[in-house]
Amino acid sequence: MIAPVLDALTSGLVTGAAVTTSPRWKKDWNSSQASCSAEGSHLLVISDAKKMDLFLRMHINYHWIGLRNSTGSGWTWEDGSKLNNTKVISNSPVQHCGVLVSGALQASSCAAYLPWICEKSPK
């Protein structure tokens, strides 16, 4: 079960979405996405500047988010939208999955084992 920890921090700023994280469990990116899906949610999508600013200010260390560059055509969120105006730090061409790291977005190998952040949109 994923423990809800960010709801209070994001209320009013994330349009009613429930945001949860898995600080004690670690999985690769695909397994993390599957865990979110099993809970009726998806990996975190940071769709606007206000939400991006909020999560970057939180200084969350190494958590999977719903950002991927699997085709080499740019970074895309799980909902299909493109990443806008935010740099993704990358130091290797094999890093195709997005991680939230201490106030920045960073690329990582999708096979790395990390905790993750899920988001459940309001009904």
Residue 12 has pLDDT above 70, yes or no: no
Amino acid at 80: G
**Closest C-alpha to 110, from 93, 92, 123, 98:** 98
pLDDT score at 114: 94
Could you report the per-residue pLDDT of 78-108, keeping only the tens digit for each? 988 999 878 898 888 889 999 998 888 999 9
Whole-model pTM: value is: 0.80
Could you report the per-residue pLDDT of 25-81, keeping only the tens digit for each? 899 999 999 999 998 899 998 878 788 788 777 767 889 999 999 777 789 999 889
Domain 7-120 has CATH 3.10.100.10: yes
Cβ-contact 29, 44 below 8 angstroms: no
Residues in the chain: 123
H or E element at residue 122: none
Beta bridge partners, 122, equal: none
Domain boundaries, the chain: 7-120
